[in-house]
Amino acid sequence: MLQRLNFWAGGVLVLFGAAAIWIGGNLPHGTLTRMGAGFMPFWLAVIVTAFGFIVLLEAFWKDERVSIPLHDLRPAVFITLAIVLFAVLIETAGFLISAFLVSVTATLASPGLTWRRNLVQSGLIALGSAALFLGVLQINLPLLPR
Amino acid sequence: MSFFDGLLVAMEPANLLACFAGALIGTFVGVLPGLGPVATIAMLLPITYHLSPAAAIVMLSGIYYGAQYGGSITAILANIPGETSTVVTCLDGYRMAQKGRAGVALSIAAIGSFVAGLFATGVIAFVSVPLSDLAQQFGPAEYFALMSLGLVGAVVLARGSVVKALAMITVGLLLGLVGTDVNTGLQRLNFNMPQLADGLSFAAIAMGVFGIGEIFATLGRKSAGVSVIARIERLWPSRADLSASVAPIVRGSILGSALGVLPGGGAILSSFASYALEKKISRTPERFGQGAIEGVAGPESANNAGAQTSFIPLLTLGIPANPVMALIAGGLMLHGITPGPQIITEQSLLFWTVIASMLIGNLLLVVINIPFVGLWTKLFKMPYEILFPCIVVICCVGTYSVNKSSFDVLILGLFGVIGYALAKLDFEVGPMLLGLILGPMLEENFRRAMLLARGDPINIITRPISAILLTASLVLLCVILLPNLRRTRETVFQEEA
C-alpha cells in the first residue's frame, strides 16, 4: 500500500486540506449575505479534502507505483540549494558573486561535468547575466559586494 | 482607437524590438526540447516588469506563437516535438523528411502558420469588441459562472485523472486566497508572516513549478541520445504541394481559431483536432502517417491560430483559457492592469498594439524561420548542461527583481520542490496555476453576487446568462467524466507521450 501512487497523492491532498482548515480556523465565516474572510478558504479546503479522499479510494483498485530513483534526487538537492544560496547572498554579496555561486551549485546537479568546465561555464553565465540584467534591462542591483 | 493606432504604436522601435525579441525567443524555445513556452514565459514574466506594459505583453505573446513555429522545426527534422502542440506534426512531417521532403514540410508549416496567424489576428480584431461589450453587462453572478466554466474547461486538457485535475484547481484557488482579505483587511492563511500580506508571488510560483520543476524532470530523465537530423534539399513546395495544402490550411485556420477561444483550448487542442479532421475528410486516409502534406499543413495552421485566438477570452472577459494565458494575465497584473472587459475601453491602445504586433510578429517569424532554418537546427544540439544553470540564474534574478525580496526567491525554491513532488504524484500544475490567478477574482465575484442576492444562492442559478454558463460547465464536467471520452482523451495523450 505504501508504494501506491494514489495513496500518497490522496494523502497529500487530505493533509493539505486539513492544514488549511486548521490554519484558517480562527477566521470569521460570516453569513451567506456578508461572507467573512474565512468562508471561501474553509469551503475550498473542505473540497480539497474531499477530493483527497476520492483519490485515496482510487488507490485501492488502481495499482500504480511511485518510484523516485536516486539519480532524480541529485538535481532536486543541488538546484534547491542553489536557489536558497541566491536568497541568502543577493542582499550582501552583490550580483556577480551570487550569480556565479548559484550557477556553480546548480551545475553540480548534472553529474559528469569536470570542475574546470563548471567554473568556466559559471563565470561566463555570471558575466552574461550581469550584462543582460544590469546592462540591457537596467535592473537596479549592486554588481559587487557592499 | 482603432487597429491603425495600434499598428503605429507597435511600429515604435521599442515595441518592434520587443516583438522581434519575443518571436526570436519563442522560436528558440520551440526548437529546444527541454524548454517550452510556459516555462519561458514564466521565467521572463518578472523581467517584463521592467518594460512598458505594451512591450511586455507584445513580447510574451510573441513567445507563445513563436514557439509554435519553432516547435515544428524539430518535429519535422528530428521527430522530436519541441512543443506538445507540434506532436501531430511529427507523424507526417518527419515521414516527409525521411522521404527527402523536409524543406517542403518546413515551408508548408511556415506558410500555413503565417496564413493562420493573419486569419486569427483578424478574428481577434473583429470578435473582441462585441464580446467585451457583452461582458460589460455582466454582473458578479455572471462572472462567477463564467469563471467556473473557465476552470472546468481547464480540466479538459489535463491529462490523467479528472479528479486530480479538479483537486489541483481547488488547491490553486486556495493558494490564491493567501494574504490580505480585500473586503475586511484581515490576514488569512499567512502564518503571521508579513511577507505574505500581498499574497504569494505569482511569478515565483509559476517559475518554480514550470521553470525549476522542468529542470528536475529533464535532468531526471536518462538522456535519449542524439537523434538524426534530416537534411534539407528542396525548400520551396511544388505547385501540387501548394494546391494540396490550400484547403487544409484554410480549414486549420478556421478550426484553430474556433477552438482557441474555448476554455481549456489553445494550440494543443487545435492541432490534434485539425489532424483528426484532415484524416477524416481525406479521400485517402491511409496516406496519413506516411508523409501526407495535409497532415502538416492543417495542424500547423491550427496550432498557430489557436495560440492566437486563446487571447480572446483573456482580453475580453479576463478569463485565461490555458496556463500560458494565466501567465500573461499575471504579466498584465504585474503592470497593474486587471484582465477583463474593461481592457478594450480603458487600455484600448494597449489592446490594439498587441493585436497589431501579432501581425508584425507573424511576418517576422517567416523571415526568421525559413532562411535560417539551418542555424536553428544547430541550436537544437545545444547541450542541456549549459542551458539549465542559465535557467536557474534567470529564475532567481527574475524573482528577486520584482519586489527585491529574498523571501520570494525562497518561495521559488519551495515551489520548485513542490512542482517536482506533484509531477511525481501524477498531478498537473497547469490547472493549479489557473486556480491561483482566478482565486481572488472568483471569491470577490461570489461574495458580491451573494451580497446582491441577499444570501440566496438560487439567485445565481436563475439569472439567465449565469444559468446558461453554469449549465454549460456542468455539462462539460459530465462529458469529461464520461468513460467513453475519457478513453479517447487517454489515447490522445498517450500518443503524445
Name B269's Cβ contacts closer than 8 Å, sequence gap at least 6: B156, B157, B259, B262, B306
Q: Is A120 on the interface with B (CB under 8 A)?
A: no
What integer pLDDT is reported at residue B495 of this predicted model? 44
B-chain CB neighbours of A9 within 8 Å are 164, 425-427
CB-based contacts of A122-127 (< 8 A; 24+ apart in sequence): A122/B389, A125/A99, A125/A100, A125/B389, A125/B390, A125/B393, A126/A96, A126/A99, A126/A100, A126/B393, A127/A96
Indicate the residue of A109, A126, A141 with minimum beta-carbon distance to B219.
A109
Which chain A residue has its CA at the smallest distance from B450's CA?
A33
What integer pLDDT is reported at residue B487 of this predicted model? 57
Q: Could you give the CA distance from residue B377 to residue B32 in angstroms, rounded to a whole number?
A: 9
Taking only the tens place, the pLDDT of each residue in B264-316 is 667 878 888 898 888 888 888 888 888 889 989 999 999 889 988 989 988 88
Beta bridge partners of A30: A35
What integer pLDDT is reported at residue B181 of this predicted model? 86
Indicate the residue of B416, B424, B447 with minimum beta-carbon distance to A80.
B416
| Residue in A64, A139, A140 to test binding to B, most B beta-carbons within 10 Å | A139
B-chain CB neighbours of A102 within 8 Å are 389, 392-393, 396
A-chain CB neighbours of B177 within 8 Å are 40-41, 44
Interface A-B, measured as beta-carbon pairs within 8 A, has a size of 183
Give residue B119's identity as a one-letter amino acid code.
Answer: F
Name B142's Cβ contacts closer than 8 Å, sequence gap at least 6: B463, B465, B466, B469
Q: Could you give the CA distance from residue B175 to residue B419 in angstroms, rounded to a whole number?
A: 14
How many of the other CB atoms lie within 10 Å of CB of B329?
25
Chain B nearest-CA distance from A99, in A, is 6
Cell numbers at residue B293, please?
502534406
Q: Could you give the CA distance from residue B354 to residue B216 in angstroms, rounded to a whole number?
A: 34
Q: Could you give the CA distance from residue B471 to residue B461 in angstroms, rounded to a whole number?
A: 9
Q: Could you give the CA distance from residue B260 to residue B153 in angstroms, rounded to a whole number?
A: 12
How many of the other CB atoms lie within 10 Å of CB of B198?
13
Q: Are B214 and B394 in contact (CB under 8 A)?
A: no
Task: Report CB contact under 8 Å: B186, A12.
Answer: no
Task: Report CB contact under 8 Å: A137, B50.
Answer: yes
Q: Are A97 and A145 in contact (CB under 8 A)?
A: yes
Which chain B residue has its CA at the smallest distance from A46's CA?
B170
Give the H/E segment covering residue A62. none
Q: Which residue has the cell 496550432?
A: B303
Q: Could you give the CA distance from residue B330 to residue B323 in angstroms, rounded to a whole number?
A: 10
Torsion angle, alpha carbons of B264, B321, B467, B133, to 10: -150
pLDDT band at B328 (very low <50, low <70, confident <90, very high): very high
B-chain CB neighbours of A13 within 8 Å are 167, 171
DSSP A24: G
Q: Could you give the CA distance from residue B339 to residue B328 in angstroms, rounded to a whole number?
A: 9
Give me chain A's average pLDDT, please: 87
Taking only the tens place, the pLDDT of each residue in A93-140 is 889 999 999 999 999 988 878 889 899 999 999 999 998 888 877 778
Q: Is A127 on the interface with B (CB under 8 A)?
A: no
Task: Report CB contact under 8 Å: B427, A9.
Answer: yes
Of A89, A105, A104, A102, the residue nearest A142 (C-alpha): A89
Total-model pTM? 0.84
Cell numbers at residue B1, please?
482607437
Task: Report CB contact under 8 Å: A35, B447.
Answer: yes
Average pLDDT estimate for B10-27: 92
DSSP B84: G
Q: Which residue has the cell 511577507?
A: B195
Taking only the tens place, the pLDDT of each residue in B330-382 is 899 888 888 888 888 888 899 999 989 998 999 999 888 877 777 777 777 77
State the first-to-last Cα distance of chain B, in angstroms, to the nearest integer.
45
Of B95, B142, B60, the residue nearest B324 (C-alpha): B60
Q: Could you give the CA distance from residue B289 to residue B279 in angstroms, rounded to a whole number?
A: 10
B-chain CB neighbours of A41 within 8 Å are 174, 177, 188-189
Q: What is chain B's length?
A: 497
Q: Could you give the CA distance from residue B369 to residue A89 in angstroms, rounded to a whole number?
A: 41
Which of left, alpha, beta for A67 (phi over 0: left; psi -120 to 50: alpha)?
Answer: beta
Q: Looking at the predicted structure, is the pLDDT value of residue B496 above 50?
A: no
Q: Could you give the CA distance from residue B59 to residue B56 in angstroms, rounded to a whole number?
A: 5
Q: Are B181 and B188 in contact (CB under 8 A)?
A: yes
Q: Are B326 and B274 in contact (CB under 8 A)?
A: no
Using DSSP, state whether B373 is helix, strand or coil.
helix
Task: Report CB contact under 8 Å: A75, B401.
Answer: no
Cell numbers at residue B194, please?
508579513
Q: Where are the alpha helices (DSSP H) in chain A?
A: 5-23, 39-61, 70-107, 115-130
Which chain B residue has its CA at the smallest distance from A43's CA?
B174
pLDDT band at A37 (very low <50, low <70, confident <90, very high): confident
Taking only the tens place, the pLDDT of each residue in B31-46 is 876 677 888 888 888 8
What integer pLDDT is reported at residue A134 of this predicted model? 86
Q: Are B110 and B369 in contact (CB under 8 A)?
A: yes
Residues 50 to 89 of A: which have CB under 8 A from any B CB?
Answer: 51-52, 54-55, 58, 64, 66, 68-69, 71-72, 74-76, 79-80, 82-84, 86-88
Q: Could you give the CA distance from residue B426 to residue B248 in angstroms, rounded to a whole number?
A: 36
Average pLDDT estimate for B436-444: 88
